[in-house]
Structure 1
Amino acid sequence: MILVGAVVVLLCWLLGFWLLWHIPAPGEFRRRAGRAPAALAVPESIPLSVSVVIPARNEERNLPCLLQSLAEQTRKPDEVIVVDDHSEDATAAVAARLGARVVRAPDLPSGWMGKPWACWVGANAATGSLLVFLDADTTLSPEGLENLVAEYRVQGGMLSVQPYHVTLRAYEQVAAGLNITLMMGMNVFTPLGDRLAPSGAFGPCVVCSRADYFATGGHKAVRSAILEDSFLGRVFA
């Protein structure tokens, strides 16, 4: 039994190394893609106006941190839209007080889940050529938006980022296991990552052009999905 257990543990470790062979650090994407930094998918000659879209339901506590971080960006967003998804608290008032444009989501249509609907409403209200969807419980470092725009210029398509999870309580560290499981199923961190189409995306931070968003159907294409981020990644793949 000891031998069997040791074999199982070894196989689990090998599987983990295979599925998480390489988790890229910031700046590694262009090296993996074999591009020189100057070979941009979206050249600097093409101006990008940035619309940040934040779907929010009962987020009066979280919004101040996010909106304050957006106000402190080295690259300011051209507009910040908070989609109030029928909140029962002061979400709309907090967003307006902190300078965001508040858009109230109409009643949920049949066949739609709440977050895809709020994102779709926000995207339709946005005027920027680049859409940045952020969950209300995220925050950006001062260079965060600048880095996202720069990385989008390198890659094009859809860019998604899994934020660093700040844990305040010991039991919250359990969520790290869920994040790792999600990463294992995305096909992009294995030795075959460059040959496989991604099978998902990270929902808390999604970046894409307005043109690509509506060409693919955006959140409308995944309107009934509970894990809309995973399905959205497949839409863009």
Structure 2
Amino acid sequence: MILYIGIHVFFLVWIIINRLFLPSLPKNPKITTEPLVSVLVPMRNEERNVATLIKSLKNSTYRHSEFIILNDQSTDGTQQILTQETAGDSRFKIIMGKELPKGWIGKVHACHQLQQEASGDYLLFVDADVRFRPKAIDQSLALLQRKKAQLLTGFPAFDVSPFLSKLLVPMLHFLVLFHLPIFLANHTKFKAATAANGMWMMFESASYRKMGGHATVYNSLVEDVHIARKIKEHDYKVVLANITMSVKCRMYDTNAEVWEGFLKNSYAGIGRSPLMALLLILFYSIFYILPPFLAIYGIVSGLYMWMVPYALTVAQRWYIDMVTNQRWYLAFLIPLQALAMLAVLTQSMRKSFKKQAYSWKGRHYS
């Protein structure tokens, strides 16, 4: 038990140290020049998100910008609301998405079309369900320039309404701060140490186009990570930042959406490796699902030391929630969060083995 506790203490210390290499967006951004920033938003059946996103864009304090939104063949009221919300504002340009070519992933094709319309010195790709504070674009550009990088990306704070969202979505921050050596991610060209998030990706336009843009990852379900690796391949710099104080996202509104969303990315995100999946299942079962059972045994038997591992897993989760602007009380759900993550990984792997398609927004991908 002493060794088991010691391992958990090491995990906590590692997370705290690893966090030191994750820069935050500056509170008071300083930009020497004001280059044109093209904010590019792919939309497919996003009627529930249009109005709030347009409000964020209009409230941005960065004035030298253009907003290009692609309606990716939506079948709901997206186009009508877009037209209403952007009327009279010359910064907005609405384009209609073309038919999805064979072999392409829908979002990747949408981003590819968007960049073709962009004139900016910097390209900021933003998901439709993102909300951001007025200075978020200024802050991102300032940090990108300060770090002399060609790509800045980050994971937003998450609004987690459905119960399954409370379990799975906060694990995105945990996976980054626990598994990713952020020093290697931000200070080396080592491709394996790369994380990115397509919800918020700011590229230096010239570098983006030299490396081929989204067309180079046309068939990837985890295009954000793969395009970040392409950036590194071309000897450019990627900066993963903590953007949670300025950028927020409500990814899903229903438990079914949560499940489908994670299902398509879970197994692909680990390179479709059965060995990696097995190792993750064993690791999280031993270190994050087992501790509450040990705690119960400790309470019943009076061996209170057996409660310490669960307390340490909560401390790990709580620290990450604190620095990523997440609800603190979700830390106590870490065993259920780990269990849900393994469940979706197992199902995603099973679908891959059976050659079953993943579904998202009316499209199917193998």
TM-score interval for Structure 1 and Structure 2 normalised by the shorter chain: 0.7 to 0.9
Q: Paired residue for 1:102?
A: 94
Distance 1:53 1:193, change over 3 A: closer
Q: 1:55, 1:115 within 8 Å by CA — same for their partners in 2?
A: yes
Alpha-carbon displacement from aligned partner over 1:115-145 (angstroms, at most 9, x marks no partner): 1110010001111111100010001101111
Q: 1:130, 1:209 within 8 Å by CA — same for their partners in 2?
A: yes
Q: Which has the larger radius of gyration?
A: 2
Q: How far, CA to CA, are the matches of 1:173 and 1:59 in structure 2?
A: 22
1:44 aligns with 2:35: no
Q: What SS does the corresponding residue of 1:59 show, helix, strand or coil?
A: coil
Q: Paired residue for 1:71?
A: 58
Q: What SS does the corresponding residue of 1:22 show, helix, strand or coil?
A: helix
Matches within 5 A, 1:1-237: 3=1, 7-15=3-11, 17-18=13-14, 21-23=17-19, 24-26=22-24, 44-45=32-33, 47-76=34-63, 78-99=65-86, 100-155=92-147, 156-174=149-167, 175-188=169-182, 194-195=187-188, 197=190, 198-237=193-232
Distance 1:167 1:134, change over 3 A: same
Q: How far, CA to CA, are the matches of 1:50 and 1:193 in structure 2?
A: 23
Q: Which has the higher contact order (CA 8 A, sep 6+)?
A: 1
Instruction: Report how far residue 187 of structure 1 moved.
Output: 3.0
* Unaligned ranges ≥5, structure 1: 29-36
Alpha-carbon displacement from aligned partner over 1:179-234 (angstroms, at most 9, x marks no partner): 321444443157x9635634121211000122111111111111111011111111
Instruction: Report how far residue 19 of structure 1 moved.
Output: 5.6
Q: Paired residue for 1:31?
A: none
Q: Paired residue for 1:32?
A: none
Q: How far, CA to CA, are the matches of 2:138 and 2:188 in structure 1?
A: 29
Q: How far, CA to CA, are the matches of 2:123 and 2:143 in structure 1?
A: 14
Q: TM-score, normalised by structure 2?
A: 0.54
Alpha-carbon displacement from aligned partner over 1:57-83 (angstroms, at most 9, x marks no partner): 100111211110110111135211111
Instruction: Report how far residue 168 of structure 1 moved.
Output: 3.1
- Corresponding letter in the other structure for 1:166: D
Q: 1:19, 1:189 within 8 Å by CA — same for their partners in 2?
A: no
Distance 1:50 1:194, change over 3 A: closer
Q: What SS does the corresponding residue of 1:75 show, helix, strand or coil?
A: coil
Percent identity at matched positions? 25
Distance 1:13 1:229, change over 3 A: farther
Q: 2:37, 2:65 within 8 Å by CA — same for their partners in 1?
A: yes
Q: How far, CA to CA, are the matches of 1:13 and 1:229 in structure 2?
A: 32
Q: What SS does the corresponding residue of 2:170 show, helix, strand or coil?
A: helix
Q: How far, CA to CA, are the matches of 1:82 and 1:193 in structure 2?
A: 30
Instruction: Report how far residue 91 of structure 1 moved.
Output: 1.4
Q: How far, CA to CA, are the matches of 1:187 and 1:212 in structure 2?
A: 25
Distance 1:118 1:193, change over 3 A: closer
Q: 2:56, 2:131 within 8 Å by CA — same for their partners in 1?
A: yes
* Unaligned ranges ≥5, structure 2: 87-91, 233-366
Q: 2:25, 2:140 within 8 Å by CA — same for their partners in 1?
A: no
Q: How far, CA to CA, are the matches of 2:179 and 2:73 in structure 1?
A: 33
* Count of aligned positions: 219
Q: Greater helix share, 1 or 2?
A: 2
Alpha-carbon displacement from aligned partner over 1:33-72 (angstroms, at most 9, x marks no partner): xxxx99xxxx835x41011100111001112111101101
Alpha-carbon displacement from aligned partner over 1:15-34 (angstroms, at most 9, x marks no partner): 46436633235258xxxxxx
How well do the aligned residues superpose, as a CA RMSD in angstroms?
Answer: 2.6
Distance 1:189 1:221, change over 3 A: same
Distance 1:147 1:223, change over 3 A: same
Q: How far, CA to CA, are the matches of 2:186 and 2:119 in structure 1?
A: 34
